[in-house]
C-alpha cells in the first residue's frame, strides 16, 4: 500500500466516524504542517496554535474531502489559508510568495521562504537530525540499507524487497529493528526537548 | 520475549503506510488504548521528519492538543460517509438523467419537428408566416424560398412563399436580409438549438 493509499484509507475511516484515524494523520503530518506554517507565523507558540486550528478545520471539513488531491495537498491549502487569515486578523500582511501545493511535496521549501526558527530551535533541530543520521550510520548494513531506502529514497517495502532480494516480511522486520535502534538514541533527546 | 521485542513492528509498518485495511483497523484500536504504542508511532514519524529536514522541536505535542480539541467535536457519522458513496452513485445517475432529458427532447423534435418544418408535404399545406418567423426571428420581406429539411428525405423544394412586408425602409430590409442569409449557419448552433442544424435558410431573389 502506498502512502497515498494509506492516507486515503485513514480519511475514509475518519469520514465514517473514526477519530483515532484522524489522530494517525495528525501524528504523521504534525511536523510538516508546523514547519510550513512557521514560514508565515514566526512565533513558535503562535505557529503551534495556528497549526492546531488548521488541523481542527481539516477535521471539520473532512466529510467534504473527495480525494481529488492527496490528503497532504488538501491539508497544505488549509494550513496556508489558516496562517494567512491569522496574519490578517492580527493586522499583519501575509507574504506574497507562496509555494504551490504540488511543488511543496517535491521541493525542499527551505530554499523558497526564509527560515525564521530561533537559534535555540535550530540547535535542537540540528541535534535531533544529527542523532538520527549518526544512529543510522552505526546500524548493521542490512538494517542501514533497508531504512535508508525507505527514509531517504521513499521506496515501498515491495521495492526494497526487490532491491535487497529478500521477502517483504524481512524488509518490514529490518526497518522496524533499525527504527528501534534509532529510537533508543532519540528518545532521551526528545524528552529533554520537551517534545 | 521475541513477541515483546517485536510488539511495535506493526506500528513501524503503519508509519510507512504498509498495513492492509484489516491490519489497520486492528492497529487503530490498539493505538487508541495503548499510549506507548501511540508515542512510538509519534517518534517514528519524528525520525522521518528529521531525515527530511521537517522536524520542528515541540511539534510532537500538537497531536495531543488536536486530539483533546477533537474529543469535543461530534464524530462524523456513517450517513455522511455513505453520502460520499451516494455522491459516487450520483455521479453515475447524473449522466443517465442527462441522457433521459436528451432522449425526451429528441422525441419531442421527432414529433413536433415535421409539423413545423416539413412544408413540402402537401398534407401540411404551405409554410405559414409564424413558422418562418420562428426560424428567422427578424423582419423579412419579399419572396422567401422554402426552408429545406433533411428529415426523411422529404426535402424537395417547391416554389417560393410570399412573406408579409414589415414596416422597414428598403435599404434596412436589404441589409438585414443579407445579414441573416450570410450568418444563417450560426443560428443552429446558437440559441435555436440543435434541431435546426438540419435547416438551411435561403435568401430571396437576387440577394444570394
Q: CA A161, CA B32: separation in Å to the nearest integer?
A: 31
Share of chain B above pLDDT 90, in %: 26
Q: Which chain B residues have a beta carbon less than 8 Å from that of A15? A: 76, 80-81, 84
Q: Mean pLDDT over residues A69-89, rounded?
A: 94
pLDDT over 50 at B138, yes or no: no
CB contact under 8 A, B9 and A2: no
Nearest-CA distance from A63 to chain B in Å?
7
Q: Residues of B numbered 37-96 whose beta carbons fall under 8 angstroms of chain A's beta carbons: which are they?
A: 38, 40-63, 65-67, 69-71, 73, 75-78, 80-81, 83-84, 87
A148-162, B34-48, B60-74, B99-113: the lowest-pLDDT one: B99-113
Residues B37-73 as b/e (b if ≥16 CB within 10 A, e otherwise) read bbbbbbbbbbbbbbbbebbbbbbbebbebbbeebeee
Nearest-CA distance from B100 to chain A in Å?
27
Model confidence pTM above 0.80: no
Q: Which long-range contacts (CB under 8 A, 24 or more apart) does B162-168 make?
A: B163/B129, B163/B132, B164/B129, B165/B141, B166/B139, B166/B140, B166/B141, B168/B139, B168/B141
Nearest to A195 by CA among A39, A69, A88, A48: A48
A157 CB within 8 Å of a chain B CB: yes
pLDDT over 70 at B65, yes or no: yes
Q: Which chain B residues have a beta carbon less than 8 Å from that of A121? A: 56-58
Q: List, for residues A7-26, the tens digit of each pLDDT value.
A: 999 999 999 999 999 999 99
Question: Residue B151: exposed, middle, or buried by beta-carbon count in 10 A (0-12, 13-18, 19+)?
Answer: middle
CB contact under 8 A, B55 and A121: no
pLDDT over 60 at A89, yes or no: yes
Nearest-CA distance from A162 to chain B in Å?
16
Q: List, for residues B74-119, the tens digit of each pLDDT value.
A: 888 865 444 444 444 445 555 566 677 777 777 777 776 666 555 4
Nearest-CA distance from A96 to chain B in Å?
22
Nearest CB to A38 within list B24, B56, B77: B56
**pLDDT band at residue B183 under the 50/70/90 scheme:** low
Q: List, for residues A94-144, the tens digit of each pLDDT value.
A: 776 665 555 555 444 444 445 566 788 888 889 999 999 999 999 999 999
Task: Tell me if ipTM is over 0.85.
Answer: yes
Amino acid at each position: 500500500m502506498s502512502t497515498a493509499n494509506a492516507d486515503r484509507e485513514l480519511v475514509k475511516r475518519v469520514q465514517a466516524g473514526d477519530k483515532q484515524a484522524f489522530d494517525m494523520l495528525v501524528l504523521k503530518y504534525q511536523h510538516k504542517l508546523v514547519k510550513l506554517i512557521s514560514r508565515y507565523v514566526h512565533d513558535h507558540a503562535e505557529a503551534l496554535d495556528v497549526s492546531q486550528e488548521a488541523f481542527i478545520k481539516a477535521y471539520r471539513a473532512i466529510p467534504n474531502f473527495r480525494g481529488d488531491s492527496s490528503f497532504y495537498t488538501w491539508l497544505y491549502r488549509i494550513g496556508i489559508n489558516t496562517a494567512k487569515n491569522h496574519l490578517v486578523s492580527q493586522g499583519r500582511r501575509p507574504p506574497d510568495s507562496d509555494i504551490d501545493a504540488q511543488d511543496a511535496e517535491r521541493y525542499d521549501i527551505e530554499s523558497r521562504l526564509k527560515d525564521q526558527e530561533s537559534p535555540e530551535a535550530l540547535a535542537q533541530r540540528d541535534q535531533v537530525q544529527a542523532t538520527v543520521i549518526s544512529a543510522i550510520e552505526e546500524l548493521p548494513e542490512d538494517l542501514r540499507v533497508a531504512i535508508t531506502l525507505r527514509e531517504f529514497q521513499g521506496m515501498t517495502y515491495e521495492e526494497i524487497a526487490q532491491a535487497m532480494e529478500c521477502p517483504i516480511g524481512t524488509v518490514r522486520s529490518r526497518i522496524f529493528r533499525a527504527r528501534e535502534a534509532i529510537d533508543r538514541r532519540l528518545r532521551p533527546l526528545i524528552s529533554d526537548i520537551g517534545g | 520475549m521475541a513477541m515483546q521485542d517485536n510488539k511495535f513492528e506493526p506500528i513501524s509498518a503503519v508509519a510507512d503506510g504498509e498495513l492492509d485495511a484489516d491490519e489497520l483497523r486492528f492497529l487503530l484500536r490498539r493505538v487508541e488504548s495503548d499510549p506507548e504504542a501511540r508515542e512510538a508511532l509519534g517518534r517514528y514519524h519524528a525520525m522521518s521528519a528529521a531525515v527530511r529536514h521537517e522536524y520542528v522541536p515541540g511539534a510532537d505535542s500538537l497531536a495531543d492538543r488536536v486530539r483533546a480539541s477533537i474529543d469535543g467535536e461530534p464524530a462524523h457519522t456513517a450517513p455522511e460517509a455513505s453520502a460520499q458513496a451516494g455522491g459516487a452513485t450520483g455521479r453515475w445517475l447524473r449522466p443517465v438523467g442527462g441522457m433521459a432529458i436528451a432522449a425526451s427532447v429528441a422525441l419531442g423534435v421527432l414529433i413536433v419537428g415535421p409539423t413545423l418544418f416539413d412544408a413540402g408535404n402537401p398534407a401540411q399545406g404551405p409554410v405559414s408566416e409564424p413558422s418562418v418567423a420562428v426560424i428567422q426571428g427578424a423582419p423579412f420581406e419579399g419572396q422567401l424560398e422554402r426552408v429545406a429539411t433533411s428529415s426523411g428525405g422529404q426535402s424537395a423544394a417547391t416554389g417560393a412563399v410570399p412573406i408579409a412586408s414589415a414596416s422597414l425602409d428598403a435599404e434596412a430590409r436589404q441589409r438585414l436580409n443579407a445579414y441573416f442569409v450570410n450568418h444563417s449557419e450560426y443560428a443552429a448552433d446558437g440559441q435555436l438549438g440543435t434541431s435546426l442544424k438540419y435547416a438551411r435558410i435561403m435568401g430571396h431573389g437576387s440577394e444570394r
